[in-house]
Amino acid sequence: MKGVPKVVRRLRSLPIRSRLALLVAAAVAFAVAAVSVACWFVVQTKLYDELDDDLMTKSHKPQSIAEIQRLLSTCPETPGDTDGYQRRSDYYFQLVKADGTPCAFGDSAGTVKVTDSDIDAIENASSGGRFRDGTDSDGNHVRVLTIPLGEVSIGDQVVSEGTALLIAYPLHSTESTLNELALLLLAVSGIGVAGAGVTGLWVARAGLRPVDQLTDAVEHVARTEDLTIRIPVEDASEDEIARLSRSFNSMTASLASSRDLQQQLIADAGHELRTPLTSLRTNIELLSRSEETGRAIPPEDRKALLSSVKAQMSELASLIGDLQELSRSDSGQQGDRVQILDLQETVESALRRARLRGPELTITADLQPWYVRAEPTALERAIVNVLDNAVKFSPDGATIDVNLKAGELTVRDHGPGIPTEDLPHVFDRFWRSPSARALPGSGLGLSIVARTVQQAGGEVLLTPAEGGGTVATIRLPGAATPPPELP
């Protein structure tokens, strides 16, 4: 048993196709061995049954009382001692006395060794005939039938108190047949196991060919970082290998898309950061040069430079904050931050901030209770971004209508609206319409809105409003009443 762990370790170290081939060969070997053994025993039983029937037929041959009495009185231990028979039978015929003494018939093929089974058959005469395997005086294997005869008398004299007739037949032909059958079954089993091993190896190679392709693809991706590689899969195939290949193709496609988005985000962020940084550097260089040369900048110009620096710093801070929010949103909502929120209160809080940013505007609100499951800070930021857009694009004195009903929040402004051709791009990162590029902003606000709403299980869309302006619609799943508190 100490070598078992070594065998297991060696099997685990083999390639999977070799293990499959060994497994198939072992399974076939077990099945063939079981069938062969069962077949051998069935044939053995059949041969012995035929031999037993033959012995039983021979036992029905009538025996004269006189011959039995004469045989018991002389009781020759070997055939032919008294009767002078020259021709011997293929069968063994002899009588057995109660003390175990054999008395052979003259035509018997030999003498069978008496056993305790024969004595027991004599003592239990009512039990009928008994079959057993035995040997003759020369050590040859024989099949024996023992039939009790009871007492045998000559006149008034009891020759034997208990006697049995013993009939036997040699087993050399039966054993030879069984041995030949065993060799044949062994040869067939060996050929079957070898064929099963070869077939199992072929099946393993054919079945694992897609796994080899998958392995090559993974190694290629790890070596070259090429995410464009795909594994060919038949459309109609639904086995495990096909599912694994489709999953790998989906994974590489998602990774490629994620990498492209990441590279695009870095490129867009660098482009957006370049403008305020360039302006900052120019203004700071002007201030620094004035200090170095000793030529004072006029107070009005100095004030304008400082205001520009302050505006650029605010724009940089806003852009960095938007990037941080967008990158955090890409990784999904934090489970410990998600909670049941009163959307009505969240919208009211965002409205207070929007009124401070657009005091010259009229913002009306019609809000009904609605409870959702989301991150409080992220959801409020998303609503604030929608309101900020409405405030930014609304002319002085305009009205902004805000409604919340059955989980649908609408923000309707009366600004210039969004051209139809620009609607598909409004939620793209860093995208800004040509008319809005002169206005402050980073182009990330609506991207943050879209990601936050999608993570909360809702949807957001912008549509042109009748009479001009834009309608922003946010739909969030929830209920008009809060769920019961958990114990």
Q: Residue 173: exposed, middle, or buried by beta-carbon count in 10 A (0-12, 13-18, 19+)?
A: exposed
Residue 183 has pLDDT above 70, yes or no: yes
> Picking from 68-82, 101-115, 140-154, 435-449, which range would have the lowest pLDDT averaged per residue?
435-449
Coil, helix or strand at residue 326: helix
SS3 sequence of 205-259: HHHCHHHHHHHHHHHHHHHHCCCCCCCCCCCCCCCHHHHHHHHHHHHHHHHHHHH
- Contact present, 316 and 273 (Cβ < 8 Å): yes
Amino acid at 395: P
Select the highest-mean-pLDDT range: 329-343, 410-424, 469-483: 469-483
Instruction: Count the Cβ atoms, other than its own, within 10 Å of residue 241.
Output: 17
pLDDT at 398 over 80: yes
**Structure confidence by residue, pLDDT tens digits, 119-158:** 888 887 666 678 888 888 888 899 998 888 765 554 554 4
Q: Tell me what pLDDT residue 193 has.
A: 81
Residue 305 above 50 pLDDT?
Answer: yes
Instruction: Determine the pLDDT at residue 43.
Output: 93
Q: Determine how many CB atoms are found less than 10 A away from the CB of residue 391.
A: 23
Contacting residues for 60 by C-beta, under 8 A, at least 6 apart: none
Length of the chain equals 487
What is the structure's pLDDT at 82? 44
How confident is the model over 325-347, as a mean pLDDT?
Answer: 71
Report, as an integer, the average pLDDT of 20-43. 85
Show Cβ contacts of residue 62 under 8 Å, excluding neighbours closer than 6 positions: none
Distance CA 307, CA 239 (A): 67
Judge contact between 404 and 368, C-beta under 8 A: yes
The strand ranges marked E within 140-219 are: 141-154, 157-170
More confident residue, 15 or 217: 217
How high is the pLDDT of residue 486? 44
Q: Collapsing DSSP states into helix, strand and coil, what is residue 394? A: coil
Which pLDDT belongs to residue 370?
92
Check pLDDT > 70 for residue 319: no
Domains assigned to the chain: 61-172 (3.30.450), 240-327 (1.10.287.130), 334-475 (3.30.565.10)
Q: Any idea which of 244-253, 259-268, 298-307, 379-388 has the lowest mean pLDDT?
A: 259-268
Average pLDDT on 393-400 reads 87
Which stretches of 354-419 are assigned E, i.e. beta strand? Answer: 362-367, 371-374, 399-405, 408-412
Q: In angstroms, how far is CA 191 from the centroid of its own chain?
A: 34
10 Å CB burial of residue 203 (0-12, 13-18, 19+) is middle
pLDDT at 369 (0 to 100): 92
What is the tens place of the pLDDT at every residue in 453-487? 888 889 988 888 888 888 999 999 989 888 775 44
Q: Poorest-confidence range of 164-173, 185-194, 290-299?
A: 290-299
- Residue 487: the pLDDT is 43
- Helix or strand run (H / E) with residue 485: none
Element (H, E) at 187: helix 172-207
> Collapsing DSSP states into helix, strand and coil, what is residue 306?
helix
Instruction: Provide the token pair at 423.
Output: 């609607």
Residue 86 CA to residue 93 CA, distance in Å, equals 15
Q: Which region among 157-161, 256-260, 323-327 has the lowest average model confidence (pLDDT)? A: 157-161
How many other C-beta atoms are found inside a 10 Å radius of the C-beta of residue 86?
7
Tokens for 190?
A: 């060996």
Distances (CA, A) of 85 to 49, 82, 104, 110: 31, 8, 12, 13
Q: Which has the higher per-residue pLDDT, 298 or 180? A: 180
> In the beta sheet, which residues pair with residue 167?
93, 145
Q: Residues near 294 by Cβ (< 8 Å), separated by ≥ 6?
A: none
Percent of the chain with pLDDT over 70: 78
Report pTM. Answer: 0.46
Rank 202-206, 309-313, 480-484 by mean pLDDT and report only the highest: 480-484
- Confidence (pLDDT) at 264: 67
- Max mean pLDDT among 40-54, 114-128, 230-244, 348-362 falls in 40-54
The answer, yes or no, to whether residue 262 has pLDDT greater than 50, is yes
pLDDT confidence of residue 74: 81
Tell me what pLDDT residue 438 has: 47
40-70: pLDDT as tens digits: 999 999 999 999 888 888 877 656 677 777 7
- Single-letter residue type at 417: G
Distance in angstroms (rounded) separating the CA atoms of residues 475 and 313: 35
Question: What is the chain's mean pLDDT, rounded?
Answer: 78
